[in-house]
């Protein structure tokens, strides 16, 4: 076969669909293309047009080897010159050159979707359709044999895995569209097992895929306020064949206590949870912190997945492997470093957030801009009005959703950089605590009535004032902290306690060394330094400046 003539290079498919015969690749692919108004191409149909005969006839005349050569060349051309949904024949990904071409496509940002259908349904469709030379003879037996060979390869080749069991073609198409639109941050490091943070509508659909087939029992830990989302997670888990134990905990910081943790350990013991079972934490930052702590401590560590449902949890608590509970003496003083198997930041859950809960998450987003990615600050500035006016009822499908997804991706990337270099907070990772030294003290003195992101916003203004007093930054950067955070609807001052009380709590901060205070401050945007044992009068003067 001669190479198909192309006039434009570097035009990539929106997505490539692979899967077993009868999985619905053509039907679902056409639905996707129709829904998002782009072209659709089926490799088998294009091959028949190219060679001028039906595939069974070509198989019979020239054999499978010749067919695979024609198929691989056509696929390679389409991967570089087709802007649409491209469906491959069942055996196409088994060809090494096609595997290489798909890997290059993925490296350039492409999405290869493994359409994983119910075997019984796929076999019935494949046999009914006819014209499949690979199923000659006992069709079901041949299909099962091919599935055993191909499934591991399809899982390795694809970077999007979509289970379509029980879904209509339209439902499967919508699921693919959501998952293809996802953003992914890969978290790696010398001291951790690599894992992915999936960001986008429908990210929770990865739950079964991330948990794998080893666990039998799943402890689904969540707060009452996210019942709608936990119902969805429970349904996904049961569809995946797991036995689900639902454990409801108190909201916010009241759920992060040794009493609550002990109650969960008792449940796990009574229900026979073993080291091969798993935990899913679903909710805000407090819920994912507690779930991670339980997973880290049960039988010295079981697999766990975080499903954060608030902006704050998506950008902060759920990623990075810090798990913990509070004590009467302070926040997060008991905990462990224990990384999740995956984080599923499903933006559908943000649609249920009240405005004030969404806005507090912007405090941690802004922090990541100040310490590591100035583009975050530019995006926040450009969209401050829309972000401050967040309305969950109109969020999904709006232009703001893509803005928020990018902010989550960038913020998680900043965190992943610091975590991968320093899992156990001995150096670089401490920079993530910008604004937290005072922020944690405010939370404690307010008995956790102040939300974390709001306290961190004030803490960043405080750190900026301290850095200015000691000559690290100029007044303009202090003013910029105030103006940006205020424009987002975040607080920049606090009057809820005395300096003596605050100072005592700052001495208990995890960054403190012996009796010496230790702060994280900027010396420019995007560059952070440690400030060890600053003069007490400067510490007090900076505090005075955030009281009005």
Known binding residues for Mg(2+): 26
- Check if 10 is active-site: no
| Active-site position among 206, 418, 440, 468 | 440
Q: Give yes or no: 429 in active site.
A: yes
Nearest C-alpha neighbor of 94 from the set 42, 147, 161, 141: 147
Place of tokens 């999904």: 396
Beta carbons of 186 and 175 less than 8 angstroms apart: no
Contact 92, 79 (CB under 8 A): no
> How far apart are the C-alpha atoms of 530 and 427, rounded to whole Å?
9
Looking at 8, 37, 148, 300, which residue is catalytic?
A: 300
Residues tagged in the binding site annotation for Zn(2+): 364, 436, 452
Of 173, 472, 198, the residue nearest 314 (C-alpha):
198
User: Encoding tokens for residue 63?
Assistant: 């054999």
Q: Which of 80, 121, 425, 446 is catalytic?
A: 425
3-state secondary structure of 21: coil
What is the Cα–Cα distance from 92 to 540, expressed in whole angstroms?
69
Say if CB 139 and CB 123 are below 8 A apart.
Answer: yes
The tokens for 333 are 């003083």
List residues forming the annotated binding site.
22-27, 44, 68, 90, 132, 150, 251-256, 285-289, 309-310, 322, 331, 349-352, 364, 436, 452
Active site residue 415: yes
**What residues are designated binding site for substrate?**
44, 68, 90, 150
228 is catalytic: no
Task: Give the active site residue among 415, 417, 444, 482.
Answer: 415
Contact 98, 75 (CB under 8 A): yes
Which of 142, 322, 367, 451 is labelled catalytic?
Answer: 322
Judge contact between 361 and 217, C-beta under 8 A. Answer: no
Annotated binding site for NAD(+): 251-256, 285-289, 309-310, 322, 331, 349-352
For residue 4, indicate whether it is catalytic. Answer: no
- Give the whole-angstrom CA distance, residue 336 versus residue 348: 30
- Among 111, 175, 232, 436, the active-site one is 436
Q: Is 425 a catalytic residue?
A: yes
Among residues 16, 56, 24, which one has the least CA distance to residue 123?
Answer: 24
- The H or E element spanning position 301 is none
Choose the catalytic residue: 429, 451, 481, 518: 429
Residues 6 or more apart in contact with residue 414 via CB below 8 angstroms = 368, 371, 372, 373, 376
384 Rama class: left (phi>0) / alpha (psi -120 to 50) / beta: alpha
Active site residue 364: yes
The answer to whether residue 433 is catalytic is yes
Tabulate helix, strand, coil % of the chain (nearest 5): 55, 15, 30
What span, in angstroms and rounded, lies between the C-alpha atoms of 440 and 327? 13
Distance CA 160, CA 113 (A): 5
CA 329 to chain centre: 32
What angle do helix axes 119-129 and 139-157 make, rounded to 10 degrees?
120
Which residues are part of the catalytic machinery? 300, 322, 364, 415, 425, 429, 433, 436, 440, 452
């Amino acid at each position: 076969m001669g190479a198909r003539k192309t006039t434009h290079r570097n035009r990539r498919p929106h997505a490539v669909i692979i899967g077993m015969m009868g999985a619905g690749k053509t039907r679902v692919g056409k639905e996707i293309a129709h829904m998002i108004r782009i072209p659709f191409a089926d490799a088998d149909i294009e091959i028949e047009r190219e060679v001028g005969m039906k595939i069974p006839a070509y198989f019979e005349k020239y054999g499978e080897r010749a067919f695979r050569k024609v198929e691989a060349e056509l696929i390679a051309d389409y991967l570089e010159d087709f802007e649409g949904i491209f469906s491959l024949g069942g055996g196409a990904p088994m060809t090494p050159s096609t595997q290489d071409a798909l890997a290059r496509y993925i490296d350039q940002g492409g999405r290869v979707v493994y359409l994983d259908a119910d075997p019984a349904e796929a076999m019935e469709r494949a046999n009914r359709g006819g014209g499949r030379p690979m199923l000659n003879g006992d069709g079901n037996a041949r299909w099962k044999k091919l599935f055993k060979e191909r499934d591991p390869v399809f899982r390795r080749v694809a970077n999007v895995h979509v289970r379509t069991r029980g879904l209509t073609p339209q439902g499967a198409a919508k699921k693919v569209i959501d998952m293809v639109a996802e953003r992914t941050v890969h978290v790696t490091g010398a001291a951790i097992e690599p894992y992915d943070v999936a960001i986008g509508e429908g990210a929770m659909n990865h739950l079964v895929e991330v948990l794998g087939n080893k666990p039998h029992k799943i402890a689904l830990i969540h707060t009452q306020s996210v019942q709608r989302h936990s119902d969805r997670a429970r349904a996904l888990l049961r569809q995946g064949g797991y036995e689900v134990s639902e454990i409801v905990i108190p909201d916010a910081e009241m759920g992060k206590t040794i009493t609550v943790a002990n109650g969960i350990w008792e449940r796990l013991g009574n229900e026979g949870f073993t080291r091969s079972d798993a935990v899913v934490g679903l909710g805000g930052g407090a819920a994912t912190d507690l779930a991670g702590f339980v997973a880290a401590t049960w039988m010295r560590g079981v697999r766990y997945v975080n499903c954060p449902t608030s902006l704050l949890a998506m950008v902060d608590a759920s990623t990075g492997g810090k798990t913990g509970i509070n004590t009467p003496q302070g926040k997060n003083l008991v905990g462990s470093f224990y990384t999740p198997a995956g984080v599923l930041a499903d933006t559908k859950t943000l649609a249920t957030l009240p405005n004030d809960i969404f806005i507090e998450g912007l405090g941690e987003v802004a922090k990541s801009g100040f310490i590591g990615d100035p583009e975050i600050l530019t995006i926040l500035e450009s969209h401050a009005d829309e972000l401050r006016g967040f309305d969950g009822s109109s969020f999904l499908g709006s232009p703001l959703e893509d803005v928020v997804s990018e902010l989550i991706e960038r913020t998680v990337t900043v965190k992943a950089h610091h975590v991968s270099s320093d899992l156990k907070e001995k150096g670089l990772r401490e920079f993530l605590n910008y604004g937290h030294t005072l922020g944690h003290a405010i939370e404690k003195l307010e008995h956790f009535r102040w939300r974390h992101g709001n306290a961190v916003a004030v803490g960043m203004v405080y750190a900026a004032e301290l850095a200015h007093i000691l000559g690290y930054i100029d007044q303009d950067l202090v003013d910029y902290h105030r103006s940006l955070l205020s424009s987002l609807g975040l607080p920049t001052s606090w009057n809820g306690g005395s300096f003596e009380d605050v100072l005592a709590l700052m001495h208990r901060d995890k960054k403190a060394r012996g009796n010496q205070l230790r702060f994280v401050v900027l010396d420019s945007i995007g560059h952070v330094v440690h400030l060890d044992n600053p003069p007490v009068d400067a510490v007090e003067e900076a505090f005075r400046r955030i009281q009005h």
